């Protein structure tokens, strides 16, 4: 019941957060739409007004040209122009265009529009016509050869009507755009808020410890589906890391419990036994080795190891480690055979690579029966230096090859000897140097192949096991 109420509370909080998430966004987008539409209207009005003005001026210029060519190649006279204007007035009772003729003294000779002579060229004029009060027009005044002034006036009543109507049209469009923008934004913001609420609910559940929760992807597409998939992949990775951490802690506790139990038994045996200090020291050393290996693994995997990368003769290093480990394998009843050692130069940390080789050979001593022989070789192949450590022991099952390179993981049939960190450290060192680790079958026995790039810019892949 408590869990149900908690879930309902979370859903309610998510819905409330979705409602709050709308905020000022719709208003802001609505205002943006309004401003944009107003700007578009003003720009459109300016373009239309300029286009109409150019058309009017072009029409005035064309009609003035017609009157200037009435003389048929000879200078046009006032009488001819006046007669043409009188004929126009008789034929065109209703027209948006008017013709006037003024003599050189400014006296109107022809035309019925009551205005004074305007200046030469284009100008805006006001006049009275038809008893409708003051009207506006566009005039073109042209000087005739006789000195008279021909004036053509284009009434701008339609243009004035457009000027009066357009602001209201722009206002109406802006208000419609604002309303549409707010409505669309409300719907869009609501959809986003609902989807974000589902993500928030999942995040709250994860924060509460429920690592099994995932962001629902049903009905999602596009960027929302991609975001949900990305978050779910991240949560899967987090779940894997937490599980690995829990397993790591469990394995660490198990591996420490054995030497600690033995140590307690030794100490309880009594102080009279002269072997107690030596045996106790041995168990303490085993515990310290486990912690040292853990610290080394953490440093390498975290990139905090103070690596001293330098050109290194890998063949000389292999020979040196083989000389050191040969007596160890002899004490185990086996032998170490050094087979075909080349001398490639790699960029690496000599201490880490030496630790890698020691761990591989020590793995043979720790996890194979007495008398097992090992073989160590080094060759140059495919732009990489390839180190192979093989033995003639019982080998390793296919399913175990990917598991044993993880910390505290052992083969299914392995005993409890060793810390379970040897191959994990080898894997970390190989990755640290940009190489690969491959576990295979030596027929019989186990074969471990390490490939290291000859130069830092090369790469030999990243894999473990067959």
Q: Would you give the DSSP letter of residue 345?
A: E
Radius of gyration for the alpha carbons in the chain, expressed in angstroms and rounded: 48
Query: Looking at the predicted structure, is the pLDDT value of residue 455 above 80?
Result: no
Query: Looking at the predicted structure, is the pLDDT value of residue 6 above 50?
Result: no
Query: Looking at the predicted structure, is the pLDDT value of residue 161 above 80?
Result: no
**What's the whole-number mean pLDDT along residues 346-363?**
85
Long-range pairs, 14-20, Cβ under 8 A, ≥24: 14/197, 14/198, 14/200, 14/201, 14/204, 15/197, 17/193, 17/196, 17/197, 17/200, 18/190, 18/193, 18/194, 18/196, 18/197, 19/193
pLDDT-derived band at 131, boundaries 50, 70, 90: low
Per-residue pLDDT of 223-259, as tens digits, reads: 777 877 888 888 887 776 666 566 555 555 655 665 6
Helix (H) or strand (E) holding 265: helix 222-268
pLDDT-derived band at 416, boundaries 50, 70, 90: very low
Q: What are phi and psi of 125, to 5 degrees?
A: -125, 160
Mean pLDDT over each residue of the chain, to the nearest integer: 75
Q: What is the pLDDT of residue 102?
A: 92
Of 84-98, 101-115, 168-182, 406-420, the range with the lowest mean pLDDT is 406-420
**What's the whole-number mean pLDDT along residues 409-413?**
52
Q: What is the pLDDT of residue 386?
A: 92
**What's the whole-number mean pLDDT along residues 411-421?**
53
List the one residue out of 337, 318, 445, 323 whose CA is nearest residue 385: 318
Q: What residues are paired with 446 via a beta bridge?
A: 441
pLDDT-derived band at 98, boundaries 50, 70, 90: confident
Q: Label the pairing between strands 446-453 and 336-341.
A: unpaired
- CA–CA separation, 74 vs 83, rounded Å? 17
Q: What is the pLDDT of residue 45?
A: 73
Query: Looking at the predicted structure, is the pLDDT value of residue 1 above 50?
Result: no
pLDDT-derived band at 465, boundaries 50, 70, 90: low
Query: Looking at the predicted structure, is the pLDDT value of residue 308 above 60?
Result: yes
Q: What is the pLDDT of residue 154?
A: 86
Of 112-121, 135-144, 199-208, 454-463, the range with the lowest mean pLDDT is 454-463
- Angle in degrees, CA 105, 109, 115, rounded to 5: 80
Per-residue pLDDT of 204-225, as tens digits, reads: 887 887 777 887 877 777 777 7
Q: What is the pLDDT of residue 257?
A: 62
Burial class (CB in 10 A: 0-12, 13-18, 19+), 432: buried
Of 79-83, 220-224, 359-363, 424-428, the range with the lowest mean pLDDT is 220-224
Per-residue pLDDT of 51-85, as tens digits, reads: 878 888 888 888 888 888 876 767 788 888 888 88
Of 215-224, 270-279, 435-444, the range with the lowest mean pLDDT is 270-279
Query: Looking at the predicted structure, is the pLDDT value of residue 101 above 80?
Result: yes
Q: What is the pLDDT of residue 275?
A: 65
323 within 8 A of 337, measured Cβ to Cβ = no
pTM for the full predicted model: 0.45
Of 115-129, 211-225, 368-382, 429-443, the range with the lowest mean pLDDT is 211-225
């Amino acid at each position: 019941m408590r869990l149900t109420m908690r879930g309902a509370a979370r859903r309610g909080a998510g819905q409330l957060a979705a409602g709050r998430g709308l905020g000022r966004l719709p208003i802001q987008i609505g205002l943006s739409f309004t401003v944009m539409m107003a700007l578009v209207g003003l720009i459109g009005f300016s373009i239309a007004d300029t286009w109409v003005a150019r058309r009017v001026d072009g029409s005035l210029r064309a009609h003035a040209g017609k009157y200037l060519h009435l003389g048929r190649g000879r200078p046009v006279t006032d009488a001819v122009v006046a007669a043409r204007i009188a004929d126009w007035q008789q034929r065109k009772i209703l027209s948006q265009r008017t013709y006037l003729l003024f003599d050189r003294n400014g006296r109107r000779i022809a035309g019925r529009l009551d205005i004074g002579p305007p200046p030469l060229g284009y100008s805006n004029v006001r006049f009275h016509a038809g008893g409708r009060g003051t009207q506006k027009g566009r005039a073109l005044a042209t000087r005739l050869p006789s000195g008279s002034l021909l004036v053509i006036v284009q009434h701008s009543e339609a243009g004035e009507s457009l000027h009066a109507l357009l602001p209201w049209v722009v206002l109406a469009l802006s208000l419609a755009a604002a309303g549409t923008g707010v409505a669309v934004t409300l719907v869009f913001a609501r959809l986003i808020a609902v989807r974000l609420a589902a993500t928030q609910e999942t995040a709250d559940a994860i924060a509460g410890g429920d690592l099994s929760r995932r962001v629902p992807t049903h009905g999602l597409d596009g960027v929302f589906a991609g975001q949900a998939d990305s978050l779910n992949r991240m949560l899967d990775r987090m779940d894997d890391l937490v599980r690995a951490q829990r397993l790591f802690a469990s394995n660490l506790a198990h591996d420490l419990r054995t030497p600690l139990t033995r140590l307690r038994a030794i100490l309880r045996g009594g102080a009279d036994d002269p072997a107690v200090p030596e045996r106790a020291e041995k168990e303490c050393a085993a515990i310290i080795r486990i912690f040292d290996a853990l610290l080394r693994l953490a440093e390498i995997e975290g990139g905090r190891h103070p690596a001293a990368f330098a050109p290194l003769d890998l063949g000389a290093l292999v020979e040196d480690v083989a000389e050191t480990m040969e007596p160890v394998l002899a004490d185990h009843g086996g032998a170490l055979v050094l087979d075909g050692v080349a001398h490639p130069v790699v960029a690496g940390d000599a201490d880490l690579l030496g630790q890698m080789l020691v761990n591989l050979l020590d793995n043979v001593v720790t996890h194979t029966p007495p008398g097992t022989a090992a073989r160590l070789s080094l060759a140059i192949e495919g732009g990489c230096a390839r180190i192979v450590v093989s033995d003639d022991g019982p080998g390793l099952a296919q399913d175990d090859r990917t598991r044993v390179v993880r910390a505290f993981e052992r083969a299914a049939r392995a005993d409890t000897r060793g810390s379970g960190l040897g191959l994990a450290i080898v894997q970390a060192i190989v990755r640290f140097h940009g190489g690969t680790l491959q576990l295979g079958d030596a027929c019989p026995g186990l074969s471990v192949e390490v490939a290291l790039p000859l130069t830092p810019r090369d790469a030999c892949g990243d894999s473990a096991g067959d």
